[in-house]
A and B are shown apart, each in its own frame.
Chain A
Amino acid sequence: MVKPIIIKRLIFFFLLGFGLAPFISSAQQVDVNAQADTDRIRLGEQVRLRLSASMPPQGMNVVFPQIPDSFGHFEVVRRSPLDTTAQGNTKLLGQTIVLTSFDSGRWDIPALRFDLVSAGNITDSAFTGPLSIDVNTVDVDTTKAFKPIKAVRTVGWSFWDYWLYFAIGITVLLVAIGLIVYFRSKPKKAAPVPVVAVVPPYEIALQQLQQLKSEKVWQQGDIKQYYTRLTDILRNYFEQQFNIPALEQTSEELLQHIKPVTILNQQRDKLRSLLSLADLAKFAKMTPSPEEHEGAMQHAQEIVEWTKPAVEKAAAAEAGKEETKQPVK
């Protein structure tokens, strides 16, 4: 009775072992490893963790463990891309992960899981062994006194730190010199100077007076307008020709301000009678006679004409000197 049961059990285990054999063999064909370049660092120092997997070149693949940016007491500084190399009949996969830690103590890097993929399915997993890293603080000798913070260290000057700036500067300088030389040596074209006819203020004043006369303003009954325009023409002329702010001055002030301008002062009486008449017409509703209208226009023209030779003389002198811009005195 005993023998058949033993035989049955042997057959069962044989069949079980035969059925699982391919899987067991695949796991044994993949070799995973995690290795740190040091097991001892100081706070903030870096440790290079090398993950590697070796496997047959065909029919199998390995999924590397997904390591988060921060785990345990470690932080991932950077990670290299996965590299693949062939060595004989073996395919080698590798990745380097740089870690650091800012907590002192002895910290473990846990066993990392590599998934084995065959025909698109995860068929098995392989684990690396855990690693321990000692993270130490800086040794402080408490028996010694505190030391001041070290002074800022001056870094030595090196030409090669600035060579690019020198190169750019020299290039810009050379280009500028080149452009200057080019434009200087280039034959210049004589630019046509636009001839602007400068009409002297007395000409303008005479034209405006003639215009006012031809418009027959007072003949149409607009006396106030006639005297306003007549005095405005004269005031503008004084302002432009003699730099007297005549537009902002009353008649009496204007008569005071022409005193230093000899050529105008000679016409003072004429100007006074004209301005007085104009004030009466403008501000007192007075209607001067036609003779007075004509007389006012004649006075205005005479004043401008009187100053004309002196103005021309001054303009000629100015053209000769090309300097002085003094009003005619």
Chain B
Amino acid sequence: MENTSDIRQLNEKIHQASAFVDLLNLELSKVIVGQRYMVERLLIGLLAGGHVLLEGVPGLAKTLSIKSLSSAINAKFSRIQFTPDLLPADVVGTMIYNQQKNEFVVRRGPIFANFILADEINRAPAKVQSALLEAMQERQITIGDTTFKLDDPFLVLATQNPIEQEGTYMLPEAQVDRFMLKVTIGYPTKEEELHIIRQNLNPQATATINPVVQPSDIITARKLVREVYMDEKIERYILDIVFATRNPEDYKLQKLKPLISYGGSPRASISLALAAKAYAFTKRRGYVIPEDVRSICFDVMRHRVGLTYEAEAENVTSENILSEILNAVEVP
């Protein structure tokens, strides 16, 4: 087979550069049982430079996953538990008066880390949420007169509890859109849970995560992810999916029209393309195929499709709508 030289080289380069993905997965599997889907999405978020919103009940190894990931990458990790009385300064940091020096000094908040776990983000009021989300977007923090650039790689993993909605502050649509992925995680299987019990109760279990990747490798990989080849056919396929969420009637999906209040934004198209490239990278490929788009589509789009009251009344979820769309849009 003869290859176009650029693609061939790129493919080989990516094949070599993405070798750490397998190493990372292997290392994480020492402490995390199951939840491969979540770990895979965390990696995609990390490689694509997008943040991840995680929805799942407590006790599903969310904290363990991100903590293990940061250990495996030799990166700094911090966890912020969002509560109703949390203040923006508790997240980003503040100026403190130093009596000895007779001056104000900056005290950095927990956001100054590579991996942030924003636990139960919907429990904090809007001003705290926007402080975090602004930092996520700008990747810098201003305290007093000084602007600090955040560490690179910087990944926020925010969690939302789908139950106990009372007394919470739901993230507005515009802010949810800033998360590249919204991942819904479920319970482990019976076998996996049995393994989890044994692993946790075994007194000899001393599995520790060793750093197998350096943050600089992740930064290099991020650059390579953007170089992954995406054919025009794939770009058009992504556009078809996003446009179908806006104008379903153009794709013979008139029945979806009354169920969708708003469709994906251009940021959705960008995120879907970037996430598909990152997915291809994790599969050690230098080009994107339709499978990559479909695999990541639900996680990129589920929080970007607004449902009408009619849809909610009929228990139609954004996943149902996306399934219909994927089954109607022709694959290139």
- Residues on A lying within 8 angstroms of B by beta carbon are 228, 245, 247-253, 279-280, 282-289, 292
| Nearest chain A CB to B69 CB, angstrom units | 27
In the bound complex, do residue A248 and residue B329 qualify as a contact, i.e. CB atoms below 8 Å apart? Answer: yes
Given A283-B287, A287-B2, A288-B1, decide whether A248 and B229 contact each other with a Cβ distance below 8 A.
no
A283 engages B234 (CB within 8 Å): yes
Number of interface residues of B (CB under 8 A): 25
Q: How far is the CA of A112 from the CA of B188 in the complex (A)?
A: 110
Contact A289 B330 (CB under 8 A): no
CB distance B11 to A248 under 8 Å? no
Complex CA distance for A289 and B1, rounded to whole angstroms: 5
A285 to chain B, nearest CB (A): 4
Partner of B231, one of A251, A285, A289: A285
9 A–B pairs (Cβ distance < 8 Å), ordered by A: A228-B332, A283-B233, A283-B234, A284-B287, A285-B4, A286-B2, A287-B2, A287-B4, A288-B1
Residue of A nearest to B325 (CB): A248
Find out whether the CB atom of B287 lies under 8 angstroms from the CB atom of A285: yes
Residue of B nearest to A292 (CB): B1
Q: CA separation between A284 and B4, bound complex, in Å?
A: 9
Contact of B7 among A250, A253, A284, A288 (CB under 8 A): A284
Residues of A contacting B: mostly:
helix
B286 cross-chain contacts in A, Cβ below 8 A? 284
Instruction: Name which of A248, A280, A284, A287 has the most chain B CB atoms within 10 A of its CB.
Output: A284
- Interface residues in B238-264 by Cβ distance below 8 A to A read none
Binds A, one of B107-115, B142-150, B207-215, B289-297: B289-297
- B159 CB to nearest A CB, Å: 31
Question: A247 CA to B240 CA in the complex, in Å?
Answer: 14
CB of A289 to closest CB in B, whole Å: 6
Give A247 to B328 CA distance when docked, in angstroms.
Answer: 9
**Contact of A282 with B229 in the complex, beta carbons under 8 Å:** no
Q: Is the CB of A248 within 8 A of B331?
A: yes
Tell me whether A282 and B231 are in contact (CB under 8 A). Answer: yes
Q: Which residues of B contact A (CB under 8 A)?
A: 1-4, 6-7, 11, 229, 231, 233-234, 286-291, 294, 326-332
Q: Is the CB of B3 within 8 A of A287?
A: yes
Kindly report which residue of chain B lies nearest to residue A246, judged by CB atoms. Answer: B331
A282 touches B233 (CB 8 A): yes
Question: Which of chain A's residues has its CB closest to B4's CB?
Answer: A285
The verdict on A250 contacting B4 (CB below 8 Å), with A283-B231, A284-B11 known, is no
A248 with B294: in contact, given A283-B233, A286-B3 (CB under 8 Å)? no
Beyond A247-B331, A284-B286, whether A289 also contacts B2 by CB under 8 A is: yes
In the complex, are the beta carbons of B1 and A250 less than 8 A apart?
A: no
Residues of chain A within 8 A (CB-CB) of B291 are 250-253
**B290 — which chain A residues lie within 8 A by C-beta?**
250-251, 283
The distance in angstroms between the C-alpha atoms of A252 and B292, with both chains bound, is 11
Contact A286 B326 (CB under 8 A): no
Name B229's contact: one of A250, A279, A284, A292 (CB within 8 Å).
A284
| Residues from chain B with Cβ under 8 Å of A279 in the complex | 289
Q: With the chains together, A240 CA to B287 CA distance in Å? A: 31
B294-A250 in contact (CB<8A): yes
A252 vs B293: C-alpha distance in the bound complex, in angstroms? 13
Are B289 and A286 neighbours in the complex by a CB distance under 8 Å? no
Q: Of all chain B residues, which has the CB nearest A249?
A: B331
Which B residues are in CB contact (< 8 Å) with A249?
331
CA distance A9 to B290 in the complex (A): 137
A95 to B226, CA, bound (A): 107
Contacts of B7 in A (CB 8 A): 284-286
A2–B229 Cα gap in the complex (Å)?
153
User: Is B331 a contact of A250 with CB atoms below 8 Å?
Assistant: yes
Query: What residue of chain A has the Cβ atom nearest to residue B290's Cβ?
Result: A250
Report the Cα distance A248→B329, complex, angstroms: 6
CB distance from B39 to the nearest CB of A (A): 21
